Structure 1
Amino acid sequence: MKAPIFCTVLLLAVSLPAAAETPSCGAGAVFEDANGNGRREPDEAGLGGIQVSDGVDIVETDSSGRYNGLDGGGSRTVFVIKPAGFVAAVRADGLPDVWRNPPSGAGSQLKYGGIRPVPGLCRDFALRREAKRRPGLDALLFGDPQPKSAADVDYYRRDIVAPIAGRRSAQLGLSLGDIVDDDLSLYPAMNRVTATLRIPWLHVPGNHDLDLDAASDEDSLLTFRNSFGPDTFAWEEPEAIFVGLDDVVYQPDRKPAYIGGLREGQFAFLESYLRTVAKDRLLVIAAHIPFFDAGKPGKPSFRVADRERLFALLKDFPHVLLLTAHSHTQRHVFHDAADGWRGAAPLHEYNVGAACGAFWSGAKDTAGIPDATMADGTPNGYATLRVENAGRYSLVWHPARDPDDAGIGLHAPKALRRGAWPAWGVYANVYMGRDDSRVQYRIDGGEWKAMDKVEKPDPRLLAENAKDDAAERLRGYDRSPEAEPSPHLWRGALPTDLAAGTHEIEVRAPDAWRGELRARTRYRLQEASP
């Protein structure tokens, strides 16, 4: 949508030509799809009061369902903001049919083709009323699926998508960028896999979704838009409002070639749209690059002025959740005044772990799927978001193909010498742990003791690094990532003054949404002589 600001237009009542006669898709209609076939029949009425946007301007349909006044230049993607209580029609590829790209196409000179011309694409938007369902919304969250080959797409299918099908129900899905790893020709294959989940799926772009041969930021997501529609959008459910933002600002002639930030057109969209948003629901802001500063001192990874401007727009909303990805690690950040947040309570950002983990790296298991553990020791997987009324929500991280949904990874030595100095410990990686989490452990059912939060690499991943180093041949296509200090790791010293034999270690950790999590392992004390 990357374009200059235009004034927001509210359509009252105009007479328009048919949508197919407006090549920019800047005019058309929204109708009630009573029979659910996605095509407008003569007896299907238009829907008034529906918001339609080109990512900069927003207009509203009149009483007959017609809109006008969008994208005079004809280069932007026009989309309907799906209102709560309605269901969008489904495209042939399984994605929600809520956008129209410029029918004349754009970027044909790009390596991956940009937006393909599709004559007659500017047809009306179909919405049908949603059947009554139970209160509460369940959404699937995928960070960085990021395949670089057809083999990786198959890992994504077998490791992430197939185990979900038939096991976990949801009403919405959201991919938080890096849908692929620079090879944009993999978009159709990725979409075919994701579409097997048969729920509306929204896509936010990442830095590996760019047309890297584009000459400007404005043209850098043409191929993405061809496959997935608008790069900035809104979607409404009874329990939550979802706003997707392209926050990757492409800088083709600079190093780094991109930075986290937003553009004037996006702020125009946000300023107009947020004025219409009810404050009794959860407002979810979804983007790729984290809003917290993950860069080196003096080199912010997200433009500070843009973050402060965004936070100023959000400050009066009592229920806000930020969702980001990009880091291939996982953490919770609570923004305060030091980050420019002026809201009544800290602003929660969940930096979602990667579906591909560490880029589909590591030794393969018996199913032929790479280990893919991330650099902070979190196993690859996906998250779920549950939203209730009044802005209440819960989050869970699901390690890939783990039937137990383990929330804690333990590492401890197998054997220690009885009577040795207690210099070795058990490490608990609490995947959804926060800075203030109180993690405890006990031995053989004894007294619970506090574990110390430590800024160290996960020992299990360090062990994988050591195996990779010692191997004469590669253990996988790519090695596991070099372990880095984890933001959710705790340590407890193991006693060596107990009786010889096997001893049980039990760890418990609070989880804000799942309650108390527990994990167990064992170690053995042996008698030894010098």
Structure 2
Amino acid sequence: MIRSFLWLAFLPIALALPAVASSACMPVTVETSLPLPRSESGVAAGCIAYRRAPATLQGASAQVLVFGDPQVKSAADVDYYRRDIVEPLIGTPAALGIVLGDLVDDAPALYPQVKTVTGLLGVPWLYAPGNHDVDADAVSDEASLDAFHRAIGPDTFARETALANIVVLDDVIVQPGRQPAYIGGLREDQFAFLERWLPSLSKDKLLVVAMHIPLYRRDSADSFRAQDRTRLYALLAPFPHVLVLSAHTHIQQQYAHTARDGWHGPKPLHEYNVGAACGAFWSGVKDAAGIPAATMADGTPNGYAVLTVKMGGAYALAWHNARDPEDTQIGLHAPKVLRHGAYPAWGVYANVYMGDADSRVEYRIDDGAWKPMRRVLQPDPALLAENARDDEADVLRGYDRSPEAKASPHLWRGALPTDLAEGGHVIEVRAFDRWRGEVHAQTRYRLQAAASPRAPL
């Protein structure tokens, strides 16, 4: 394993240590294909400092890489991030990238390395801060991102492109000396900025809101403040094409904000809570390349997302497991053998990584008729089996064991028949992804005759 990062010193220093904005106004980058508004003078609340940058998202469509939580805590983790996520993407057709916070795991000294490794992809990157990016000795929320500002840049900013407008928001409200130590929400200066900037935008483009802590309600002490959510809803409601990107949870989930949440836009507000690049904090058994499995608690492999933005506010999303040449979209778990003629109490489970409550998921056996699978809110059995292997091991199987399996929001089950012929049978599962269309996965099980049970004495 590579333990030294001296090679980073030979890359341009500008990639690692950008200058912090000198203006007190919020920075908005306007790409060269668009007219440049005049920056506002003074330090009035919400004032905007406009800047130029080369065009990225243009043409009929363009791709954006989206990383959730690289969350490195050591040189070893930076090495995993480089080899598992970044290097396989060199040569990407993406024109822009977004990191949704938790660049580091309370290790600000690693900011330059994370930014330089990410910069190997050769596209502009937008970085949101996360709760593990705050200064450990912060005495206030206002002073909680000093290290982030020095090494990475502003915590709140926007970018206007030909195909989409993107705003990156620090939504971690630090509460030193209190419990919880932070909550989700926005500052008054951020609201002032949004109140000035959003009305200047065209409504025929996609508006992307990128943040760390999810906007949707969560049963967690650090959930996004309800009053801030209501205020943000009101600012976003006039826009017909909005996508919220969040991270933080180390699972993956699609969420539709509706009237039950207090959202009153023209259609449900789509939030994609993106899985983590580090998965479950770079945990689990290492593979032949020395990289941990890093499977998340919902059974989703670690990886990254691709957002494709299109003309007229349209977009598409795709999840890609790290270093997966098959680009697997469905994880299957089924028993290897069942008794022929047994009661059909056992099933195949399909973890549809980009699935949601409305997803159509079906299965069939041996080219038979397709049957619907039932969505179940329970842990992925494949990860439960890995938990059992960790429990039964006499020695540590990795630096940190895989996470305890939690109920997955995108798991489906289908009962396996036992009245077919003895021998092997093929299980095929298909799901209908709203962007990719039909995706498939396949596995096998075997039916075996058992000896007659011994007669009772």
Cα 1:433–1:25 change in 2 (3 A) is closer
- In the other structure, the counterpart of 1:142 is 67
Counterpart-to-counterpart distance in 2, 1:335 and 1:313: 14
Q: Which runs of 4+ in 1 moved over 6 A?
A: 29-34
- In the other structure, the counterpart of 1:69 is 42
| Preserved contact between residue 305 and residue 319 of structure 2 (Cα < 8 Å) | yes
Give the one of 181, 192, 211 matched to 1:268. Answer: 192
* TM-score relative to the length of structure 2: 0.90
- In the other structure, the counterpart of 1:124 is none
Counterpart-to-counterpart distance in 2, 1:131 and 1:289: 26
- 1:386-424, CA deviations, whole angstroms, 9 ceiling, x for partnerless residues? 011000000000000001211100000111111111111
Cα 1:131–1:369 change in 2 (3 A) is closer
| Preserved contact between residue 73 and residue 105 of structure 2 (Cα < 8 Å) | yes
Give the C-alpha shift of residue 132 in structure 1: 11
Gaps of 5+ in 1: 1-22, 35-46, 52-59, 62-66, 88-129
Question: Is 1:175 the counterpart of 2:68 in the alignment?
Answer: no
Larger Rg, first or second structure (1 or 2)? 1
Question: Is 1:231 the counterpart of 2:152 in the alignment?
Answer: no
Give the one of 464, 472, 475 matched to 2:386. Answer: 464
Counterpart-to-counterpart distance in 2, 1:240 and 1:345: 18
Q: Give secondary structure in 2 for the equivalent of 1:219.
A: coil
Give the one of 262, 278, 296 matched to 1:374. Answer: 296
Counterpart-to-counterpart distance in 1, 2:258 and 2:198: 21
- In the other structure, the counterpart of 2:365 is 443
- In the other structure, the counterpart of 1:163 is 88
Cα 1:132–1:341 change in 2 (3 A) is closer
Letter aligned with residue 479 of structure 1: R
Counterpart-to-counterpart distance in 1, 2:235 and 2:67: 26
Give the one of 110, 127, 149 matched to 1:186. Answer: 110
- 1:268-297, CA deviations, whole angstroms, 9 ceiling, x for partnerless residues? 00000001011010000000000111125x
Counterpart-to-counterpart distance in 1, 2:196 and 2:58: 30
| Preserved contact between residue 50 and residue 80 of structure 1 (Cα < 8 Å) | no
Gaps of 5+ in 2: 1-20
- In the other structure, the counterpart of 1:293 is 217
- In the other structure, the counterpart of 2:3 is none
Cα 1:30–1:372 change in 2 (3 A) is closer
Question: Is 1:304 the counterpart of 2:226 in the alignment?
Answer: yes
Cα 1:310–1:460 change in 2 (3 A) is same
Q: Give secondary structure in 1 for the equivalent of 2:441.
A: strand
Give the C-alpha shift of residue 137 in structure 1: 1.8
Letter aligned with residue 389 of structure 2: K
Q: Give secondary structure in 1 for the equivalent of 2:83.
A: helix
Counterpart-to-counterpart distance in 1, 2:414 and 2:132: 40
Count of paired positions? 431
Give the C-alpha shift of residue 70 in structure 1: 3.5
* TM-score relative to the length of structure 1: 0.78
| Preserved contact between residue 146 and residue 356 of structure 1 (Cα < 8 Å) | yes
Give the one of 187, 191, 201 matched to 1:277. Answer: 201
- 1:315-346, CA deviations, whole angstroms, 9 ceiling, x for partnerless residues? 01000000000000000000011211011110
Letter aligned with residue 443 of structure 1: I
Letter aligned with residue 245 of structure 2: L
- In the other structure, the counterpart of 2:36 is 50
Letter aligned with residue 467 of structure 1: R
- In the other structure, the counterpart of 2:141 is 217
Counterpart-to-counterpart distance in 2, 1:218 and 1:381: 32
- In the other structure, the counterpart of 1:348 is 270
| Preserved contact between residue 99 and residue 126 of structure 2 (Cα < 8 Å) | yes
Counterpart-to-counterpart distance in 2, 1:471 and 1:161: 32
- In the other structure, the counterpart of 2:9 is none
Give the C-alpha shift of residue 212 in structure 1: 1.7
Counterpart-to-counterpart distance in 2, 1:206 and 1:433: 25
Counterpart-to-counterpart distance in 1, 2:168 and 2:57: 26
Q: CA RMSD in A?
A: 2.5
| Preserved contact between residue 362 and residue 479 of structure 1 (Cα < 8 Å) | yes
Q: Give secondary structure in 2 for the equivalent of 1:218.
A: coil
Give the C-alpha shift of residue 135 in structure 1: 2.5
Counterpart-to-counterpart distance in 2, 1:231 and 1:314: 20
Give the C-alpha shift of residue 68 in structure 1: 3.0
Letter aligned with residue 259 of structure 2: A
- In the other structure, the counterpart of 1:490 is 412
- In the other structure, the counterpart of 1:357 is 279
| Preserved contact between residue 328 and residue 358 of structure 1 (Cα < 8 Å) | yes
Letter aligned with residue 131 of structure 2: N
Letter aligned with residue 82 of structure 2: R
Counterpart-to-counterpart distance in 2, 1:132 and 1:225: 26
Counterpart-to-counterpart distance in 1, 2:429 and 2:392: 31
- Considering Cα pairs closer than 8 Å and 6+ residues apart, tell me whether 1 or 2 has the greater RCO: 2
